[in-house]
Amino acid sequence: MDAILLQILNGMDKGSAYALIALGLTLIFGTLGVVNFAHGALFLIGAFCAVTFSKILSLSHVVIDESQKDFLGNPLKVEVPYIYDMFGQATGDVIIDWAVPLSLLFTVPVMIAIGFAMERGLIKHFYKRPHADQILVTFGLAIVLAEIVKYFYGANPIPTPAPSAFAGSFDFGAMLGFDPNTIIYPYWRLVYFAFAAVIIGGVFAFLQFTTFGMVVRAGMADRETVGLLGINIDKRFTIMFGIAAAVAGVAGAMYAPINSPNYNMGMDFLVLSFVVVVVGGMGSLPGAVLAGFLLGILESFASMSVVLETLPGINQIIIYLVAIIILLTRPRGLMGRKGVMED
């Protein structure tokens, strides 16, 4: 019982990450009809926005300390962050500690700008081109973006810890009356879960309850008619692209403490997020979120050792196996519309 509760919790958490990425992907697909293989790269850039921001905070000038020696026996160079000079050491440390949450202030505008630039500079020219061309050009872009990150940050993962206030884990077991330590969960992952819920809810509310969202939804359903009504739908779609990029970006930035970001993480998430979107049904926002959680939970269950003992290797293939079963029983994924991306 407690083991199952634990894996559901786990799956919800993993699912929230999948859902966040898939949401942005399906937003772009639904509005613009573009298959964006560079979406994983946007997630990557978001994570590296957090890295960059914490590097900026720790920008230092060098003080030579004659009393200490470095590994070659030369006088040690001590780096003092500028932020110490500005706020004093104590406040400076607190700011550096909170770098990841604070980086959202930096990530959102950067990602919106990148989203606009991508849409206006590149994607716009591909609306009328075949999906295969869209895939190729965005895949090329994804490689280029990842290589740029590698050029500046190397290939190694870069530790980007959460604020120390969120270190450690919360003991659900004790709260629910189980033995202590049976159901524990890290604070930062709970934060991530809540954060994902807020973002997903926010995007839905925005599309559902604002005039802007209504126009965009109308445009998704029938772009031509909305255009004929005299509405500049292109401009709104550009804004939606910016929003989708920002969603991917903040998902990446907040993910940085969970797994140290490296330049390959975009590609790692790319295939998975496509599977999630397709299982959810192309063009369906609720489908993407539902599929994200479903696959996250199933993946967690498949990694339980009881399951692995009976079906060795099931954890390797569970996501793809489930995708096949769902696509064979429900032709357009969980909530897909007829005729979308079927030819």
Partner 1 sequence: MSFSKLTRRGLIKTGAVASAGLALPTYLRADGHSGFTNAPQGDTVTLGFNVPQSGPYADEGADELRAFELAVEHLNGEGDGGMMQTFSSKVLEGNGIMGKKVNFVTGDTQTKSDAARASAKSMIEKDGAVMISGGSSSGVAVAVQALCQEAGVIFMAGLTHANDTTGKDKRANGFRHFFNSYMSGAALAPILSNEYGADRKAYHLTADYNWGYTTEEAVRSSTEALGWETVNAVKTPLTQTDFSAYIAPVLQSGADVLVLNHYGGNMVNSLTNAVQFGLRDKEVNGKKFEIVVPLYSELMARGAGQNIKGILGSQNWDWKLENELGSRYAGTNAFVQSFGTKYGFPPSQAAHTCYVQTLLYADAVTRAGSFNPCAVVEALAGFEFDGLGNGPTLYRADDHQCFKDVVVVRGKETPENEYDLVEIVEVTPAEQVTYAPDHPQFAGGSLGTCNAGA
Partner 2 sequence: MFGLNKKDAGLLIVVAILALAAPFILNPFPEGSAMAQFNAGYPDLMQRLVIFGIFAIGFNILFGLTGYLSFGHAAFLGVGSYAAIWMMKLLTMNVIPAIVVSIIIAGLFSLLVGFISLRRSGIYFSILTLAFAQMSYALAYSVLTPITGGETGLQPKYTDPRVLDKALEAGQQPRANLFGLEMNQGFQLEMGNWVFTFNAGYYIAAVVMLVAFYLSIRIFRSPFGMMLRAVKSNQQRMNYTGLNSKPYTLAAFVISGMYAGLAGGLLVAMDTQVGAERMFWTASGEVVLMTILGGAGTLIGPVLGAGFIKYMENIVSKINKSVLEQWFAFMPDGIEDVLVAIIYPFVGKGWHLTLGLLFMLVVIFLPGGLVEGGQRIGKMFRRRDANANSIEADAAEQRKPAAE
Q: Is 141 in the site for partner 2 (CB under 8 A)?
A: yes
Stretch that binds partner 1, among 10-18, 85-93, 108-116, 200-208 (CB under 8 A): 10-18
Q: How far apart are CA 260 and CA 54, in angstroms?
A: 13
- 3-state DSSP: the chain helix, strand, coil percent, rounded to 5? 70, 5, 20
Q: How far apart are CA 90 and CA 307, in angstroms?
A: 49
- Phi-psi group of 333: left, alpha or beta (phi > 0 → left; psi -120 to 50 → alpha; rest → beta): left
Q: Is 64 in the site for partner 1 (CB under 8 A)?
A: no
**Based on CB atoms, which residue is closest to partner 1, 9 or 220?**
9
Q: Answer yes or no: are the C-beta atoms of 27 and 236 closer than 8 Å.
A: no
**Based on CB atoms, which residue is closest to partner 2, 141 or 215?**
141
Q: Under DSSP, is residue 300 helix (H, G, I), strand (E, B) or coil?
A: helix
Q: Which does 144 bind (CB under 5 to 8 A by kind): partner 2, partner 1, none?
A: partner 2
Q: Is 179 in the site for partner 2 (CB under 8 A)?
A: no
Widest distance between CA atoms in the chain = 76
Backbone angles phi, psi at 169, to 5 degrees: -135, 160
Which of 29, 53, 188, 241 touches partner 1 by CB under 8 A? 188
- Say how many residues touch partner 2, by CB under 8 A: 46
Q: How far apart are CA 150 and CA 27, in angstroms?
A: 28
Q: In the window 12-51, what residues touch partner 1 (CB under 8 A)?
A: 13-14, 17
Q: How far apart are CA 62 and CA 228, in angstroms?
A: 62
Q: Which does 327 bind (CB under 5 to 8 A by kind): partner 2, partner 1, none?
A: partner 2
User: Which residue type sits at 66?
Assistant: E
Binding site for partner 1 (CB under 8 A): 2-3, 6-7, 9-11, 13-14, 17, 68, 70-72, 76, 150, 154-159, 161, 167-169, 181-182, 184-186, 188-189, 257-260, 262, 264-265, 268, 299-300, 303-305, 308, 312-313, 315-316
Binding site for partner 2 (CB under 8 A): 33, 35, 122, 125, 128-133, 135-137, 139-144, 146-148, 151, 267, 271, 274-275, 278-279, 282, 312-313, 316-317, 320-321, 323-324, 327-328, 331-333, 341-343
